[in-house]
Chains A and B, each alone.
Chain A
């Protein structure tokens, strides 16, 4: 079972802003480990979207942004577009498990 909790789904109209939370604990996000976000379209491999909490790889639109505070992190998508419909996963390291952990995943739907 995942140790990072995300809402199963979020939705918004085109142009709106949506946020996805990623709630962890004292052995992962709260222990100052970095949080990364991945975007996954159906039938394809996950792709890096945000690295080290709030950095965008080259080619990722600036409407995607990340933040981290305490034992949680968030991904925000502003100016939501139809092409943003996908699953999103947060990821960090957990020192009690001595391994990498993923969030439960969030499906973004554009209304």
Chain B
């Protein structure tokens, strides 16, 4: 059973870069037809899709964040990463990683989420 776990700094300075990783256990990140996603949720707000990557490195991004986002994958370590540049307070959120595809074309499972606060 695949499990996901986010990790990274809980505080990032304004104008800095937010960097998170999502470790995949119980399965291979190299699975075909599977996409690895990032979703965020600002405090008291709804869910916002950030982007996705497959094991070959193909990516798709939310147009509203595309200019600042890079998602990468490391097959050898079975994890994928999120970099969000030039952050502001509006980027303060709980960041979730989630799987899409394989035998399930929906978001499942999800990681537990990690809160990232943009503050000086």
Contacts and interface: CB of A to CB of B under 8 A. Distances in A.
Interface of A: 2, 34, 36, 38, 44-48, 51-52, 57, 89, 91, 97-105
A89 B106 contact: no
A72 B106 CA distance: 18
Chain B residues touching A, majority SS:
strand
Contact of A48 (B46, B49, B108, B111): B108
Given A46-B96, A105-B46, A97 B63 contact: yes
A1 B105 CA distance: 23
Nearest to B111: A45
Interface residues of B, number: 23
Given A36-B106, A38-B107, A52-B106, A105 B47 contact: yes
Contact of A51 (B51, B106, B112): B106
Contact of A103 (B46, B62, B108, B113): B46
A36 B107 contact: yes
Given A46-B96, A89-B46, A103-B46, A98 B105 contact: no
B106 A47 contact: no
Nearest to B61: A99
A100 B110 contact: no
B63 A46 contact: no
Contact of B96 (A45, A91, A104): A45
B60 to A, nearest CB: 6
Interface in B18-77: 37, 39, 46-49, 51-52, 60-63
29 contacts: A34-B105, A34-B106, A36-B106, A36-B107, A38-B47, A38-B107, A44-B112, A44-B113, A45-B110, A46-B47, A46-B96, A46-B107, A51-B104, A52-B106, A57-B108, A89-B46, A91-B47, A91-B106, A97-B62, A98-B60, A99-B49, A99-B62, A100-B52, A100-B100, A101-B49, A102-B39, A102-B46, A102-B48, A105-B47
A2 B48 CA distance: 8
